[in-house]
Every structure is written in structure tokens, then in C-alpha cells.
Amino acid sequence: MGISSKNTESFGRPLNWLVFQLMTSLLITTVSKTCETEGWLDLLESSEENDSSNLVAGSAPRPLFAASPKHSTKTLDKNPFIQAVESKYFVDKTPMIIFFHQQTKPILVTAPRYFGKTTNLYMLRNFYEILVDESGVEVDKNHTENRALFAGLVKRKRASKKTIFRDEKWCDEQMATHPVLHYSFENLTISRVMNFLKSFQQLTARVCKEHSYLLKSDRLSPANITLLRSYCDASASGVTRQGLCASGRDMSALLAAFFGRPSLVLLDELDAPILRLLTNSIPDAEMREILAILKEFSTELFINNPAVVDRAFLTGNTELSTIVAPSNAVHLRFTQDEEITPFFGFSEWEMDNLIRDSELHDRDIRKYYDGYRGQNSSEWVYNPYSLRHHLIRQYNGVYWSSALPLETFTALYKNSEFVREIFENATKTDATEKEIKVLGPHIFPVEEKMAMLREMLAKAKPVTSIAQKAVFVDFLYQLGYLTDKTQSRTKPDRDFLVIIPNKEVTEIFRQYCQKMKA
Ligand SMILES: *[C@@H]1O[C@H](CO)[C@@H](O)[C@H](O)[C@H]1NC(C)=O
Ligand SMILES: *[C@@H]1O[C@H](CO)[C@@H](O)[C@H](O)[C@H]1NC(C)=O
Ligand SMILES: *[C@@H]1O[C@H](CO)[C@@H](O)[C@H](O)[C@H]1NC(C)=O
Ligand SMILES: *[C@@H]1O[C@H](CO)[C@@H](O)[C@H](O)[C@H]1NC(C)=O
Ligand SMILES: *[C@@H]1O[C@H](CO)[C@@H](O)[C@H](O)[C@H]1NC(C)=O
Ligand SMILES: *[C@@H]1O[C@H](CO)[C@@H](O)[C@H](O)[C@H]1NC(C)=O
């Protein structure tokens, strides 16, 4: 069975971040007007962690380690979800937990960068994770920081009407019920297979070490402990490719043996290495080897696993994520799958509430930051990252950046008239000129699309055929540079019409074209 799919220009981030820090610390002391907001979590995605860690040492969000014996390291262990909850611009997306809870298969959500994937992933972790002390003894789940965090949402009256904590009984039953395996592919190196294996081993070792309390357990056999020890050692030379691919599966088995419960598996930034492969000159054979290893890892973990993985949340920017996702994953796309879009974007209503909260009345922000739209929906969706940064700085600027900046396409811009036209049309003022019509059919297997994109990006093959145009435009769409103009994509083999979503993205194109002409 295949993947089911229903088918910077920023003004110096460190400064933003500092302003953000100052603002939040000032604003936290002011009385914030209470209002029912429904929906959106304020965003801090992984790249922002990097920015913040550059500036304020010690305040970078880090995962709440399962094995962490302390539960009061308030400043050190703030992951993006906790930061969001504590932010003035928090919008409650906890109803996503209920949606997620109802799923019976791994969920792969793809959305452009900075649309809340990592934040929501941490929300799930904070909700479901069984916290243990360093010797593996479960912390009383009524008295964990996680419990206080979610309970606090209701008390602060900042929660959605549908917030899960209105149903305390359900939460009592469901909170802290799973050990968590949390991987992020964000920083995997792909320059050569050897380097990749090294960085993948470091990643798996880091995840195993979060569960190092298992080493002391008498519920595991000596053979289990030996295995675990080898996985925890990032420099172990004895770990084979096969062992690496089996490590997720084995970890979930050991956790099941220890807790008597299935794991929650979180795989963040699934396509980060794939997007890097698109522009890298690594030989094709090595590229295929890297993809095969990642695919085998997820197949072992989700398909060939006798220990049950009860729930799984996977994220990525584009559909290329499906190349390494397990075959039983259900792929849901931002704007194209309406049931998940509200969890990853700001509605008009949510924006209104935030503005009311912050006493800003700048109607221009609509032009700048909304405009993302689902196929069947007449409702606009705001870019939540940019909106929040606008509220902090009170300035209509460019805050968002895509996972692949326009510079990635420079060779194409230079030698492909079609690409140059798209970029230059994007800067025009007349809306109809910004429309891009692409002729169908554009259905190919995703591996084939990746090969086409790699030809264009790594080898600067001009975009000329109808198929290439369709694949290229769809890729820009997935990266967040374009959105649906019409509802034409309900039939995937028809023409589709896309458009630049808003003024912020127009400005990104404008600045880029200016640079190219200079
Ligand atoms: C990726 O690397 C950056 C820079 O070192 C770091 O700040 C970030 O936390 C890393 N992300 C993950 C998921 O480890
Ligand atoms: C993290 O920050 C460093 C230093 O500014 C930068 O070189 C690196 O590219 C950043 N990494 C990511 C993933 O943004
Ligand atoms: C936790 O709280 C629930 C009710 O909120 C109660 O039924 C349960 O006994 C408590 N558990 C412990 C270990 O105190
Ligand atoms: C753990 O040890 C038991 C008994 O030796 C064995 O049956 C099981 O396969 C081991 N689990 C893993 C994940 O290796
Ligand atoms: C959009 O509407 C069409 C026709 O009603 C339906 O077949 C399709 O599944 C819908 N798409 C989404 C994403 O809801
Ligand atoms: C750019 O705009 C012109 C004029 O509206 C239009 O004819 C052309 O098709 C557009 N190019 C693309 C690639 O959409």
C-alpha cells in the first residue's frame, strides 16, 4: 500500500529575537485582556532555536528530556511549545491533540517552514510523554510540569473553547501515557554517504541517551542492555548500517518491555536532508543510498516492528518527505487537507482576536500576511510566524523565509525564461499578472518529481516542458511561495492556477529580482 495522499530578507533575526525577548518580558507584566481564541499556536520553529541560541545562551528551547530528573529547570528546558504558551501571542491549537488522538495510522503533515509543525510536535510530546526520573521511576502524572502547563491554559482563559483541558477526565486518561521517541532530521549531513552515516548515528545515539535510565533496568535482559549501550554510543564503530536502521525499531521494543506501553514516535523535518540533496552534487548512487537508509529506518520502525508504535507524527516541508516516510503514513497537506489546515495557520478570526489583544489596528497586515488559501475554502489563512513578528515589531516587514530561499533558484533564474518570468511577474502590482497557470497532467511518482527537481536545481536544467513547469510551480507552492488561486486542483489531472499569496512574499521576490539585476 502506498502513501495515501488526498490529493532573508528578514531584518536580522538576532535583533528580532532580542526585541521579542524584551517585549515578552515587559508584556508579561501587563495585564493581558482575556479573550477566547481558537486555534493557533504561536510559532517557534527549529531554525529560530538556532537564532536564539546564538544570542541568549541558555535560553534556547531544548527538548524536555524524558529522563530529566529535574522538573523545575524553567529557563533551560523551554521547547517551542512551552515558549509559545508563555508568549503573549499564544493561540491555542490543543484541539489538534484530539484530531491526532483519533488517527489510527502515522500522520505525516507537510507545510511550509515556520507554520507551526515543530511547535505542534512538541505539544504532542508534552501531552503524551511519560516523565520518569533518572532511575526510570514514573513521576506522578498529576504533578508534572506538563500537567501544569496544559491546566494553566484553561486557568489563564487563553485557551480555545475546544481546548482539551475542558474535558479533564479525558486528559487524566490520556496524558502521560506513552514513552516518546523523538527524532529530527534537521541537521543530518548529506555531503557523502560516510558523513551521513556518522551524523545519523549521532542522531540515533542522542535519542537513545534520552532513555539511558533503561540501562539500569532489571526488566531488560543483559542482551538488551548490551544492544542499548551500543546504540547510545555515537562513536561506536561496531554499529552497522543495518543496526542503524534497526535502532528505532529496537528502541521502541525496549521501551515497550520497560513501560508495558507502546511508544509515541515523532519524526521532525523529514525532508530536510532531501531538500539538501536537491542542490548537492553528490553522485546519484550515493544519494539513492542515503534515501534508502532513511526509508529503511522508518520501515523498520513502523512496518517491521513487533512492538506496537501506537501513535506517530511526522513533519516535512514538501511532499518529497513521502520518499522516506513509512508506507502506511497518511499524508496531510497544509491548505490542501482542510481538516489539518486550521492547526497550522491563523484564521481571520484568530488574527482579529490577537489584534484586539494587542490594541493594534493596522488593516494593512491583511495584505501583507494573509492570503494562503485551501482548495475548497473561501477563507484566507495568515502566515502565523510573520503575523506574530509583525505584532512584536509593529512594522510591516519581511519576516518569513522559505526552507529554500530564492537564491537556491539563481542558476535557473539565469537560464530559464519561464522561471525568470514567474519571479518578475511576482513583483508586478496587477494581481492578474501574478497568476501562474500550469497545465496538467502533473501526476508523477514523487521519486520522479525529485529527479526532475534535482536536474533543475543541481544541474540547472532549464524548465521548458509542460511537465517540468508543473513540477516546478507545484514545488514553489509547497515551499510557501504560492497559493491556490482557484479551486481547480480538486482534480489533480486538471490545470491549476496559483498566485503569490501576499505582499510579504511579493516583497521577497522584489528584493531578489533587484539583487539579480544589480
Ligand atoms: C541543528 O543545528 C543547529 C545549529 O547547531 C542547532 O541550533 C539546532 O538545535 C539543531 N537542531 C536539532 C534538531 O538538533
Ligand atoms: C545556525 O547558526 C549558525 C551561526 O549563525 C549558522 O552558521 C548556521 O547556518 C545556522 N543553522 C541553521 C540550521 O540555521
Ligand atoms: C490524579 O488525579 C485524578 C483526578 O484528577 C485522581 O483520580 C487520581 O487518583 C490522581 N492520581 C494520583 C496518583 O494522585
Ligand atoms: C531483549 O531481550 C530479550 C531476551 O533476551 C529478547 O527476546 C529480545 O529480542 C530483546 N529485545 C531487543 C529489542 O533486542
Ligand atoms: C474539495 O471538494 C471536492 C468536491 O466537493 C472534494 O472531492 C474534495 O475532496 C475536497 N477537497 C478537500 C481538500 O476537502
Ligand atoms: C507573466 O505575465 C505575462 C503578462 O501578464 C503573461 O503573459 C505570462 O504568461 C506570465 N508568465 C508566467 C510564467 O506566468
Q: Which three cell numbers stand for residue 501?
A: 499569496
- Region 354-363: mean pLDDT is 70
Residue 261 alpha carbon to ligand 4 centre in Å: 16
Instruction: Check residues 514 and 71 and name the one with the higher pLDDT.
Output: 514
Q: Are 111 and 317 in contact (CB under 8 A)?
A: yes
Q: What is the pLDDT of residue 487?
A: 56
C-beta of 202 in contact with ligand 1 (< 6 A): no
Is residue 397 helix, strand or coil? coil
Residue ranges around ligand 3 (CB below 6 Å):
140, 142, 172
Confidence of residue 357 (pLDDT cuts 50, 70, 90): low
Confidence of residue 416 (pLDDT cuts 50, 70, 90): very high
Phi-psi region of 157 (alpha: psi -120 to 50; beta: other; left: phi over 0): left
C-beta of 490 in contact with ligand 5 (< 6 A): yes
CA max distance for the chain? 70
Q: What is the pLDDT of residues 69-87, one digit of tens each?
A: 334 333 446 899 999 988 8
- Region 418-438: mean pLDDT is 87
Q: What is the pLDDT of residue 80?
A: 93
Residue 496 alpha carbon to ligand 6 centre in Å: 15
Question: Parallel, antiparallel, or unpaired: how do β-strands 330-333 and 372-373 relate?
Answer: unpaired
Q: Find the helix or strand (DSSP H, E) in which 380 lies.
A: strand 380-381
Is residue 359 over pLDDT 90? no
Calpha distance 463→498 (Å, rounded): 17
Is residue 404 over pLDDT 60? yes
Measured from the Cα of 433, ligand 6's closest atom is 5
Out of 193-207, 238-252, 280-294, 318-332, which region has the weakest mean confidence (pLDDT)? 238-252
Q: What is the pLDDT of residues 437-471, one digit of tens each?
A: 877 656 789 999 999 999 999 988 999 998 999 99
- Region 172-185: mean pLDDT is 95
Q: What is the pLDDT of residue 506?
A: 95
Q: What is the pLDDT of residue 158?
A: 53
List b or e across 103-140, with b for residues whose CB sees 16 or more CB atoms inside 10 angstroms.
eeebbbbbbbbbbbbbbbbbbbbbbbbbbbeeebeebe
Q: What is the pLDDT of residue 161?
A: 66
Q: Are 268 and 81 in contact (CB under 8 A)?
A: no
Question: Parallel, antiparallel, or unpaired: how do β-strands 107-110 and 180-184 relate?
Answer: unpaired
Q: What is the pLDDT of residues 118-143, one digit of tens each?
A: 999 999 999 999 999 988 999 998 88
Calpha distance 209→151 (Å, rounded): 29
C-beta of 50 in contact with ligand 4 (< 6 A): no
Residue 189 alpha carbon to ligand 1 centre in Å: 12
Q: What is the pLDDT of residues 251-269, one digit of tens each?
A: 999 999 999 999 999 999 9
Q: What is the pLDDT of residue 282?
A: 94
Mutation probe of ligand 5 site: the residue of 333, 337, 490, 496 with most atoms within 8 A of C-beta: 490
Give the torsion sign (CA, 294, 295, 296, 299). positive
Mean pLDDT of the chain: 82
Q: What is the pLDDT of residue 403?
A: 97
Residue 383 alpha carbon to ligand 6 centre in Å: 26
Residue the block writes with cell 481538516: 339
Confidence of residue 514 (pLDDT cuts 50, 70, 90): very high
Residue 263 alpha carbon to ligand 4 centre in Å: 17
Q: What is the pLDDT of residues 195-220, one digit of tens each?
A: 999 999 999 999 999 999 999 999 99
Q: At what angle do helices 466-479 and 446-459 cross, to 10 degrees?
A: 90
Q: Which ligand is nearest to the CA of 55?
A: 2
Q: What is the pLDDT of residues 494-503, one digit of tens each?
A: 677 889 999 9
Share of the chain above pLDDT 90, in %: 57
C-beta of 336 in contact with ligand 5 (< 6 A): yes
pTM exceeds 0.85, yes or no: no
- Region 53-78: mean pLDDT is 37
Question: From residue 287, how far is each of 29, 189, 300, 307, 454 by CA, in Å?
Answer: 52, 12, 20, 30, 11
Q: Are 384 and 42 in contact (CB under 8 A)?
A: yes
Instruction: Check residues 395 and 11 and name the one with the higher pLDDT.
Output: 395
Closest residue by Cα to atom 11, ligand 2, is 50
- Region 17-39: mean pLDDT is 35
Is residue 375 over pLDDT 50? yes
Question: From residue 45, how far is each of 14, 48, 296 by CA, in Å?
Answer: 15, 6, 27
Residue 458 alpha carbon to ligand 2 centre in Å: 22
Residue 179 alpha carbon to ligand 3 centre in Å: 20
Q: What are phi and psi of 331, to 5 degrees?
A: -90, 120
Confidence of residue 152 (pLDDT cuts 50, 70, 90): confident
Is residue 27 over pLDDT 70? no
Which amino acid, residue 207? V
Confidence of residue 48 (pLDDT cuts 50, 70, 90): very low
Residues 6+ apart with CB under 8 A from 249: 300, 301, 304, 305, 307
